[in-house]
Structure 1
Amino acid sequence: MTKSRNPVRRSGAALGGVRGAIAGLLSAAILSGCGAINHMMYKTTGDVMQGFSKDHTVPYLMQRDDLAMSCAMSEATSPLLMSFGRVTNEPDQLAVMLYLAAGGCAEERAREAGLEGLAAMHALRAEEAQDAAIRQKRHYALAARRYHKAWEHHNAFYGAPDKNGCPDFDEDIDGFIYMAGLLSGLQALNAEIQSTSSIGVPKNIGSTVARATSCLDNETWWGAPMALRATVWAMIPGALPNGEDPFQRLETADRQGEEAGVRLSHVFHAIAAENKGDQERLRNIIRRHAEAIEAMPPAEDWVMVDAIATQVIVSISDRLWVENVGHRTPMGQLGTFWDDQAEATETMDLDDLL
């Protein structure tokens, strides 16, 4: 007859199994608790970062004129700040500024490649010019994607302009970001055209932006909303309302911007003049901008906006110079042109070499 197993040993084994199960449950609870705590911490951090960026980072940057530093910051921090959308509300409003700035970085590289291509053409270096043209289109394609992302986040936060009325702006910065989103939409379309590729930017975005500018106070925003609207009127066939003169509106916006110390309207005016092929008007706008920034410093709270306007005006001036004489606008000579005075130009070139 065989002996039965030891009941004490068997009950001990059972007890050990129960203890193991309890320990497993406790471990799972502790780990899940840590996950919940971490999620709460991440969410809180994300909310704080979004609020801090809107209330302090953006206003701080707007008071600075170092565009290269702003560009580097937007490209470097966008993934970090946008990743908080995984643990809290999507930072749509902040994303408008981040992607608009990052798109501006890519567009500036496109303009640089364009200048290199023009210089190569002037020097009859065909292969180098072709390579620069390819790089320019690649940069514009990236710019278009980034601008379009800004436009999508703008619509997510404020509502699509073609489907919603004007939003309420609790603070001035809300109105500014709304205008930045409209600008990003127009820039997305322009960059897509320059890239000669399809990014998926809606082709009616120009007319949508033009209508949405009516949500913004023209006096508050240095004439820029009307300038943006008039530029669309000048560029898109059939967009001009009866009885309107886009260039007259742009002249009025220019005066408002000059008086406010934020000359953004000059950029829109220059774009409209280029689109019409009006070289004399374009030169006058560049001269006017150069005189305006010498006569009056930028508005304290919007230094960067004015600096961006100057950067674009300089790039347009550079293109004209490179096309005609093979080099950019000489230092300190914005508002002058190679054919103003032949002797002065020759002396200026010699000084640059020395």
Structure 2
Amino acid sequence: MTHILKPASRLPHGLVRFRGAVSAVFVGVILSGCGVVNNMIYKTTGDVMQGFSRNHTVPYLLESEDLAMGCAMSEATAPLLMSFGRVTSEPDQLAVMLYLSAGGCAEEQAREHELASLGALRARNAEQAEDAMIRQKRALSLAAKRYHRGWKHHNAFYGKPDASECPGFDDDLGEFIYLAGLLSGLQALNAEIQSTSSIGVPKNIGSTVARATSCLENDKWWGAPMALRATVWSMIPGALPDGEDPFQRLDIADEQGEEAGVRISHVFHAIAAQNKGDHERLRSVIRSHAEAIDETPANEEWTFVDAMATQMIVTISDRMWMENTGHRTPTGKLGTFWDDEKETVETMDLDDLL
């Protein structure tokens, strides 16, 4: 017996239209939802990357003494990490460290160009010296831009520095980054001046930084806040408070830094001595630093900061040696100078033994 298949019964016209509308909405959600899902993924990834970098990458780096690797990392990862600010909150606090380090990279290049220029001048090669000076100023201009970006991110996160209303700090790292931001601001002004260019760094940034250091505990941070403040006092006319002696303050800060194994105050002291043209004091600071790093190991938690201080002291020493001898500080001779009196070797008259 043959069975005849009957066509399926038709759905009511209204239900057909409803089902079509649901399908259209479903497809639309799928297509448009790709962007929503992606944004959620990007935001989550950005939050995770920011949190990991702040809580683990930065502390790990601060325990390292490899400045070159820290420099390479900041230049390579800054665009990636900062781009997450397009999909989540701006990583202002992390940016302070990234741009301070990246600015240091450019400034290190400028120092190399300066040494090349000094060497060329001693060799009486005016064209080569001029070219190196041009490269130095270009590198300093880049450094100033990077430092200034770090300063602006510092202000965005902590608020405009004001000693009368200090920010609240979540932890020691947050307090350290505040100090790093103040240093970034001062470095931005210094690099801009040396580059002879104008990138918009506020000219009152020095006095602003000096006041803001009062928000930090001097004993806790190796004497660095007072050293920074005293350096500004010594460099800016009219900034010195009545009854204060900036170099006496710097001497005290040096003792604190040497004892703590974080000798960044030596750098501020050397800069202040250079600015005053006090060459004997400058030599004394360099000698003290060389002796201190031999006698006291760097603080393990802040090894990077101490290594950075040593690098800058070596740079100052290299400039002095290059100007006077045509070469950098000899290996293993930091703290010595070309005109030091040679140790006399006691000799014995062999004729007396015969």
Instruction: Tell whether the structures are fold-level matches, with TM greater than 0.5.
Output: yes
1:77 aligned residue: 77
Aligned ranges 1:150-229 → 2 under 5 Å: 150-162=150-162, 165-229=165-229
Q: Indicate the residue corresponding to 1:10 in structure 2.
A: none
Distance in 2 (CA, whole Å) between partners of 1:181 and 1:17 is 63
Displacement, 1:182? 0.3
Whole-angstrom distance in 1 between the partners of 2:304 and 2:142: 23
The answer to whether structure 1 residue 329 and structure 2 residue 326 are counterparts is: no
Quote the residue 1:3 is aligned against: none
Q: CA deviation at 1:149?
A: 0.2
Alignment partners' CA distance in 1, 2:23 and 2:285: 77
Counterpart Cα distance in 2 of 1:264 and 1:256? 10
Cα deviation, 1:82-112, whole Å, max 9, x if unaligned, reads: 0000111000000000000000000000011
Match of 1:238 in 2: 238
The change in CA–CA distance for 1:23 and 1:296 in structure 2 (over 3 A counts) is same
Deviation at 1:50, TM superposition (A): 1.1
SS at match of 1:244: coil
Residue 281 of structure 2 corresponds to 281
Distance (whole Å) between structure 2 residues aligned to residue 49 and residue 23 of structure 1: 38
SS, match of residue 222 in structure 1:
coil
Partner AA of 1:119 in structure 2: G
Question: Are 1:320 and 2:316 an aligned pair?
Answer: no
Distance 1:87 1:164 in 2: 34
Counterpart of 2:292? Answer: 292
Corresponding residue for residue 88 of structure 2 = 88
Deviation at 1:25, TM superposition (A): 4.6
Q: How big is the shift at 1:343?
A: 8.2
Alpha-carbon distance between aligned partners in 1 of 2:21 and 2:121, rounded to the nearest angstrom: 77
1:318-341 Cα distance to aligned partner (Å, 9 max, x none): 000000010000000000001113
Q: Does the 8 Å contact 2:163/2:213 carry over to 1?
A: no
Q: Distance in 1 between matches of 2:163 and 2:264?
A: 28
- Which of 31-40 and 226-235 deviates more? 31-40
Partner of 2:7: none
Distance 1:29 1:272, change over 3 A: same
8 Å CA contact 2:163–2:212 kept in 1: the answer is: no
Per-residue CA shift, 1:282-340, capped at 9, x if unaligned? 01100000000000110010000000000000000000000001000000000000111
Equivalent residue runs for 1:110-189 within 5 Å:
110-162=110-162, 165-189=165-189
Q: Which amino acid aligns with 1:201?
A: V
Superposed displacement of residue 34, structure 1: 1.7
Deviations for 1:233-290, whole angstroms, at most 9, x for unmatched residues? Answer: 0000000000000000000000000000000000000000000000110011000000
How far 1:48 sits from its partner (Å)? 1.0
Deviation, 1:29, is 1.5
Q: What residue ranges of structure 1 are gaps of 5+ in the alignment?
A: 1-15, 345-354
Task: Report if aligned partners of 2:192, 2:201 keep a CA contact under 8 Å in 1.
Answer: yes
Provide the rounded CA distance (Å) in 2 between the counterparts of 1:34 and 1:316: 56
SS of 1:305's partner is helix
Q: Residues 50-92 of structure 1: CA distance to partner in whole angstroms, max 9, x if unpaired?
A: 1111111111000000000000000000000000001110000
Matched, 1:51 2:51: yes
Q: Aligned AA for 2:199?
A: I
Deviation at 1:38, TM superposition (A): 1.2
Identity %: 73
What is the Cα deviation at residue 33 of structure 1?
A: 1.3
Q: Which residue of 2 aligns with 1:12?
A: none
- Report if the CA contact (8 A) 2:163-2:211 is conserved: no
TM-score scaled by length of structure 1: 0.90
Confirm whether residue 301 of structure 1 aligns to residue 307 of structure 2: no
TM-score (norm 2): 0.90
Tell me which residue corresponds to 1:249: 249
Measured in 1, the distance between the counterparts of 2:225 and 2:28 equals: 57
**1:40 Cα deviation (Å)?**
1.0
| Aligned residue number for residue 31 of structure 1 | 31
Deviation of the 1:31 alpha carbon: 2.1
Structure 1 range deviating more: 26-35 or 140-149: 26-35
Distance (whole Å) between structure 1 residues aligned to residue 224 and residue 315 of structure 2? 20
